Amino acid sequence: MAAAKGGSKSKIPQVGWFEARPAPVVLISGPEAFLADRAARTIRDQLKAAVPETEVHDIEASGYASGEIFTIASPSLFAEPRLIRVDGVEKCSDAFITDMKRYLEQPAEDTTLVLRHGGGQRGKAVLDQVRGLADAIEIPCLEIKKDQDRYDFAMGEFHRLGAQATPGAARQLVLAYAGGLGELAGACAQIVETAGARITEDDVERATEGRVEASAFKVADAATAGKAADALVLLRQALSTGTDPIPMLAALNFKLRGIARAYGARGSAGQLAKDLGMAPWQAERAVKDGRAWSEEHLAAAIDLAAETEWLLKGGSRDPEYALERFVLFVARRGREPRRA
């Protein structure tokens, strides 16, 4: 797993969150809170493992009072190592900026300072100073949005937990847990606990049974594959259990937008993935599904998607019928006339 690349021109080493390690000054930058928390926890665990007596102090930069860092970092009677964690540097007080610039000129001995900056311009002078230090490192925690990145994260989680998952199992899990990384990481841990060290599609199927996201993507997969009868049965089963139609529409729109982006594309799976910003398997599937559509019908489906969203959000007294009509239109690739 390669280290993430930050957008700053940093003069200090940049390491991935999965390679987090102590240093006199550690800058954890970027908006992905789950990865930042894990990096900070890794540093703490390493310091505590080396010296159990390590003191841990937490500072909230937004409420920082003048002189606080120097009080905490001053030598103690027993000279225990210190870990000072500063959260919310992007919201820091003026006093924090003043004191931190002074502190960074000569960091305290036997002290690890971890600065957490979530993004923005506030505190930039401090960040620039950190990035010019000889004994500092930066851990960029960029937001993970693409399915390929989430897939890589899931595979990394299984490896970290001493387990192996088939590519299909990891893909299925990523589709079922489309929320935050914390939720996805928790799902990986739960499946390993219940299924053991070798994870298959069947294991994920059992673990995600009943989730709205899982049901929604089953409907979307069937519809975009042209399996009208299967899609309709799955849709009615999901709706009969009280599933909200909105996530069902969102899943189908996600698949349809992928088909539209890949329509008419040519090239290898790797090149398509790069050009389309998808995972290779997604790009191949989208290109394959797109061959069954005409450009006119695909455009009509995109229009109907917007109309269906309006109907589901209050424009119709029968939103389930509106969603069913849209699912059938997609499954039939628009080849039958739409009925009002």
CATH 3.40.50.300 intervals, the chain: 17-140
- With residue 282 as reference, give the H or E element that holds it: helix 280-290
Query: Residue 214: what pLDDT?
Result: 65
The model carries a pTM of: 0.65
Query: Residue 267: what pLDDT?
Result: 78
CATH class of 17-140: alpha beta
Q: Which residues, 6+ apart, have CB-to-CB distance to 312 below 8 Å?
A: 245, 246, 249, 319, 322, 323
Res. 1: pLDDT tops 50: no
Q: Is the dihedral of CA 166, 170, 171, 173 positive or negative?
A: positive
pLDDT digits (tens, 9 = 90+) for 59-103: 999 999 999 999 999 877 677 899 999 999 999 999 999 999 999
Whole-number Cα distances in Å, 89 to 101, 121, 294: 13, 10, 52
| Rounded-to-integer distance, Cα 102 and Cα 96, Å | 10
Band the pLDDT of 9: cuts 50, 70, 90. low
Average pLDDT over residues 41-58: 95
| Structure-derived torsion over alpha carbons of residues 66, 70, 73, 78, reported in degrees to the nearest 10 | -120
Query: Residue 207: what pLDDT?
Result: 81
Query: Residue 169: what pLDDT?
Result: 87
Instruction: Find which of 48-52, 187-191, 219-223, 251-255 is predicted with most confidence, using mean pLDDT.
Output: 48-52
Fold exhibited by the domain 214-331 = Zinc Finger, Delta Prime; domain 3 (1.20.272)
Hey, what are 242's tokens?
């009280």
Query: Residue 7: what pLDDT?
Result: 46
Q: Is the dihedral of CA 5, 182, 63, 108 positive or negative?
A: negative
Average pLDDT over residues 242-252: 83
pLDDT digits (tens, 9 = 90+) for 125-153: 999 999 999 999 999 999 888 878 888 99
CATH 1.20.272.10 intervals, the chain: 214-331
Average pLDDT over residues 282-287: 81
Q: Which residues, 6+ apart, have CB-to-CB distance to 32 below 8 Å?
A: 141, 142, 143, 144, 181
| Rounded-to-integer distance, Cα 340 and Cα 334, Å | 14
Hey, what are 169's tokens?
């199992």
Average pLDDT over residues 229-253: 84
Query: Residue 3: what pLDDT?
Result: 42
Average pLDDT over residues 27-38: 95
Residue given tokens 């299925």 in the structure block: 172
Interior CA angle at 70 toward 67 and 76, to 5°?
135
Res. 29: pLDDT tops 90: yes
What is the share, in percent, of the chain residues with pLDDT greater than 70? 93
Average pLDDT over residues 149-167: 92
**130-145 as b/e: b if 16+ CB within 10 A:** bbebeebbbbbbbebe
Average pLDDT over residues 302-311: 91
| Rounded-to-integer distance, Cα 305 and Cα 323, Å | 9
- Residue 320 or residue 28, greater confidence: 28
Tell me the pLDDT of the chain averaged across its residues. Answer: 87
Hey, what are 188's tokens?
């990986």
Measuring CA to CA, which residue among 315, 313, 322 is closest to residue 340?
A: 322
CATH annotation of 147-208: 1.10.8.60
Band the pLDDT of 335: cuts 50, 70, 90. confident
CATH 1.10.8.60 intervals, the chain: 147-208
Average pLDDT over residues 255-278: 80
Helix (H, G, I), strand (E, B) or coil at 61: helix
Query: Residue 212: what pLDDT?
Result: 58
